[in-house]
């Protein structure tokens, strides 16, 4: 039996490659003669760079940037190899995923002569870079993400896939825009603080993009979103995600008001309406900011990665697929890896088992043949994170045995 194992990372626990290996060990305990195809996945968050670089025989680069609180760090990004854009048999190529295969598409890519870079905003502006005691979305900034974009441009990239999962920020992308040369001023005409955080966004009265990095005009940026949330409202960046980033209920409302103000400033000063756009609320509004300030497009991140790693092709001939992610809940339907994998597998007629860290009742259980979370009974979240490899192995073995017994 051929079994494809295509999980995401378990945030702050294990990278996707190690999750896949642990699941494979459990499968082989239950079925020693299984043919395993390891296909680590991502949805624009952690592991996106590694998955896409490996899929295209690319290379990793590093750049010196600022972290979410302004401390210097070294962050990595990827340059895709020849496979990045060439496509795979029977599938749409990566260039199509970044909007280069329709209309002028391929010809424009050929004329540009530039490389394709892949960036994770989490490498510079991620939640994991800030200790829980210091998480404060009023202060954290995406400035370092803008610096990574500049580093990719310096490396020759003229096509950029930017994964924006796992952020520590709710700055509407203003910090990133500042790094790219956009100038923000307040009511007094004074410059806003360099490295703006979420608390500074409400002071924006002027936006001047005339000094924006000129190479952006000849660069295509595709934002790989792992959510579909709008910028504001009950499902927006502040009210849904800010509490995870250290915001109190009072701070959540301040951030909501600031993002609504920023959306109005973008409408007035730049003539763009990004407030209700699907994915605009990703990464604390970085999705909206990249559209407004860098002419980016927003795409489902899991679709981009799936095309790069050839998941559709690899599912051909498989009799089972295993996937998983750290938290399986209602948000999983909004562009997360497990559901993206399930949809591809169902289209190929392959049953899917999901083995997440935890599973909520409102998650889309109906998409899977079985859902077997690590957390449950005597296993708490803390125990699951501490023993993730062993539990993944155990759950995978149990799930495969049950699957075989029902065939």
Measured CA to CA, the distance from residue 354 to residue 374 in angstroms comes to 11
Decide: 313 and 91 in contact? Cβ < 8 Å. yes
At 344, is the secondary structure helix, strand, or coil?
Answer: helix
Q: Tell me: do 127 and 272 sit in the same domain.
A: yes
Q: Tell me: do 185 and 330 sit in the same domain.
A: no
pLDDT at 82: 63
Q: Tell me: do 273 and 388 sit in the same domain.
A: no
Measured CA to CA, the distance from residue 209 to residue 203 in angstroms comes to 17
Decide: 182 and 208 in contact? Cβ < 8 Å. yes
Q: Tell me: do 277 and 179 sit in the same domain.
A: yes
Q: Tell me: do 98 and 75 sit in the same domain.
A: yes
Give me the sheet containing 297-300, strands edge to edge.
59-66, 72-79, 115-120, 157-163, 220-225, 297-300
Residue 319: CATH number of its domain = 3.40.50.10350
161's enclosing H/E stretch is strand 157-163
Measured CA to CA, the distance from residue 268 to residue 375 in angstroms comes to 48
User: To the nearest whole number, what is the mean pLDDT of the chain?
Assistant: 90
pLDDT at 233: 98
Which one of 244, 268, 302 terminates a domain? 302
- The burial class, CB within 10 Å (0-12 / 13-18 / 19+), for 129 is buried
Q: Tell me: do 58 and 21 sit in the same domain.
A: no
Give the pTM: 0.78
pLDDT at 141: 98
Short-list 121, 98, 120, CA closest to 109: 98
Q: Tell me: do 332 and 376 sit in the same domain.
A: yes
Measured CA to CA, the distance from residue 40 to residue 16 in angstroms comes to 5
Chain-centroid distance of CA 291 in Å reads: 16
Q: Tell me: do 227 and 338 sit in the same domain.
A: no
Q: Tell me: do 121 and 270 sit in the same domain.
A: yes
pLDDT at 335: 77
Question: What are the start-end ranges of the H helices in 316-380?
Answer: 337-347
The pLDDT tens digits for 315-360 are: 999 999 999 999 999 988 877 899 999 999 999 999 999 999 999 9
At 301, is the secondary structure helix, strand, or coil?
Answer: helix
299's enclosing H/E stretch is strand 297-300
Residue 270: CATH number of its domain = 3.90.1510.10
Please list the ranges in the chain whose pLDDT falls under 70.
82-113
The pLDDT tens digits for 252-308 are: 999 999 999 999 999 999 999 999 999 999 999 999 999 999 999 999 889 888 987
Question: What are the start-end ranges of the H helices in 311-368?
Answer: 311-315, 337-347
Question: What are the start-end ranges of the H helices in 98-207?
Answer: 105-112, 122-125, 143-154, 174-179
Q: Tell me: do 323 and 377 sit in the same domain.
A: yes
Which one of 267, 283, 302 terminates a domain? 302
Full domain range(s) for residue 136:
48-302
Do the bridges between strand 72-79 and strand 358-359 make them parallel or antiparallel, or are there none, so unpaired? Answer: unpaired
Q: Tell me: do 167 and 61 sit in the same domain.
A: yes
Q: Tell me: do 320 and 399 sit in the same domain.
A: yes
Decide: 39 and 314 in contact? Cβ < 8 Å. yes
Total number of domains in the chain? 2
pLDDT at 240: 95
pLDDT at 102: 28
CB-side neighbour CA atoms (13 Å) of 250: 0
What are the start-end ranges of the E strands in 183-252?
A: 183-185, 206-208, 220-225
Which one of 280, 302, 324 terminates a domain? 302
């Amino acid at each position: 039996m051929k079994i494809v194992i295509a999980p995401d990372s378990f945030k702050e626990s294990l990278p996707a490659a190690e999750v896949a290996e642990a699941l494979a060990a459990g499968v082989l305990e239950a079925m020693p003669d299984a043919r395993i195809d390891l296909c680590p996945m991502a949805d624009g968050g952690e592991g996106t760079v590694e998955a896409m670089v490996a899929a295209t025989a690319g290379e990793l680069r590093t750049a010196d940037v600022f972290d979410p609180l302004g401390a210097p760090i070294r962050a990595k990004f990827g340059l895709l190899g020849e496979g990045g854009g060439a496509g795979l048999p029977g599938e749409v190529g990566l260039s199509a995923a970044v909007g280069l295969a329709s209309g002028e598409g391929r010809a424009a890519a050929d004329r540009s002569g530039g490389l394709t870079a892949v960036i994770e905003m989490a490498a510079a502006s991620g939640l994991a870079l800030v200790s829980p005691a210091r998480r404060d979305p009023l202060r954290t900034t995406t400035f370092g993400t803008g610096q990574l974009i500049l580093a990719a441009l310096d490396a020759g990239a003229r096509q950029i896939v930017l994964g924006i999962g796992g952020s520590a920020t709710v700055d509407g992308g203003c910090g990133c825009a500042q790094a790219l040369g956009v100038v923000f001023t307040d009511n007094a005409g004074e410059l806003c603080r360099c490295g703006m955080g979420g608390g500074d966004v409400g002071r924006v009265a002027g936006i001047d993009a005339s000094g924006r990095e000129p190479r952006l005009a000849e660069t295509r940026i595709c934002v790989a979103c792992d959510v579909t949330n709008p910028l504001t409202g009950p499902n927006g960046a502040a009210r849904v995600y800010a509490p995870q980033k250290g915001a109190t209920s009072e701070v959540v409302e301040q951030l909501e008001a600031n993002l609504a103000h920023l959306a109005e400033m973008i409408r007035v000063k730049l003539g763009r309406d990004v407030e209700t756009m699907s994915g605009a609320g990703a990464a604390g509004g970085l999705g909206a900011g990249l559209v407004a300030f860098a002419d980016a497009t927003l795409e489902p991140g899991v679709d981009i990665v799936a095309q790069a790693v050839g998941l559709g092709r690899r599912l051909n001939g498989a009799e089972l697929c295993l996937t998983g992610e750290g938290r399986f809940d209602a948000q999983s339907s909004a562009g997360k890896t497990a559901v993206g994998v399930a949809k591809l597998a169902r289209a190929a007629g392959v049953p899917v088992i999901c083995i997440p860290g935890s599973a909520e009742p409102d998650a889309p259980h109906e998409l899977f043949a079985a859902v077997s979370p690590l957390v449950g009974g005597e296993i708490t979240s803390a125990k699951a994170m501490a023993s993730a490899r062993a539990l993944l192995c155990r759950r995978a073995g149990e799930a495969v045995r049950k699957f075989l017994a029902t065939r």
